[in-house]
């Protein structure tokens, strides 16, 4: 059941990926304006004007420090979301009891970020992005597969289906 729910979340997130592609990412301080323009120009554009984002190349071009910073930020963002949800008042504007809020926070974090060993998550994502077939899979989805891999759960079938869906979307957008 949890595996099916994860797959559904992955597919829904994939549907949001084109919105990410529309957003421009500012180049790192190490890149010059000319190299950033060249990189953007080399990304394949679709008929709808969207750019097919090559997440794998982005990930592989990051230093270990940049990857760690990304994962720290992602983790903090989930923590902030869970904190807001856990301590939010109910429909009658009544704040939940402290013990109940802490329980909700732990539950939310366990559901969204089951592993706090971000070095293991980083290594698994790096391993996945070594395969060019995974290049167009967004970071958040690849992180879900990293969680599955670390937990020793089967993920191959879901990853193959996601690759097919991503490639199909890229062909439709062209």
pTM score of the predicted model: 0.66
Is the pLDDT score of 115 beyond 70? yes
pLDDT at 28: 44
The better pLDDT of the pair 69, 115 is held by: 69
Supply the range of the domain harboring residue 42: 2-173
Rounded CA-CA distance 13/141 in Å is 7
Q: How many domains does the chain have?
A: 1
Is the pLDDT score of 155 beyond 90? yes
The answer to whether residues 86 and 102 touch, using CB atoms and an 8 Å cutoff, is: yes
Burial (CB count within 10 angstroms: exposed 0-12, middle 13-18, buried 19+), residue 10: buried
Give per-residue pLDDT as tens, 42-98.
455 544 455 668 999 999 999 999 999 999 999 999 999 999 988 888 777 777 788
21: left (phi over 0), alpha (psi -120 to 50) or beta: alpha
Q: Rounded mean pLDDT of the chain?
A: 77
Is the pLDDT score of 173 beyond 70? no
CA-only gyration radius of the chain, Å: 18
Rounded CA-CA distance 29/8 in Å is 37
* Nearest alpha-carbon partner for 18 in 49, 61, 62, 57: 49
């Amino acid at each position: 059941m949890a595996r099916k729910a994860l797959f559904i979340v992955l597919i829904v997130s994939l549907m949001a990926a084109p919105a990410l592609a529309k957003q421009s990412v500012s180049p790192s301080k190490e890149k010059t304006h000319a190299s950033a323009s060249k990189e953007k120009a080399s990304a394949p554009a679709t008929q709808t004007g969207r750019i097919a984002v090559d997440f794998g190349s982005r990930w592989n071009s990051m230093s270990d420090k940049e990857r760690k910073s990304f994962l720290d930020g992602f983790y903090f963002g989930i923590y902030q979301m869970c904190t807001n949800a856990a301590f939010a008042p109910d429909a009658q504007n009544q704040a939940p009891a402290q013990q109940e809020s802490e329980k909700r926070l732990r539950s939310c974090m366990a559901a969204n970020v089951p592993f706090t060993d971000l070095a293991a998550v980083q290594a698994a994502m790096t391993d996945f992005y070594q395969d060019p077939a995974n290049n167009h899979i967004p970071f958040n989805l690849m992180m879900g597969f990293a969680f599955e891999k670390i937990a020793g759960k089967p993920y191959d079938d879901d990853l193959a289906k996601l690759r097919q869906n991503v490639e199909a979307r890229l062909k439709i957008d062209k």
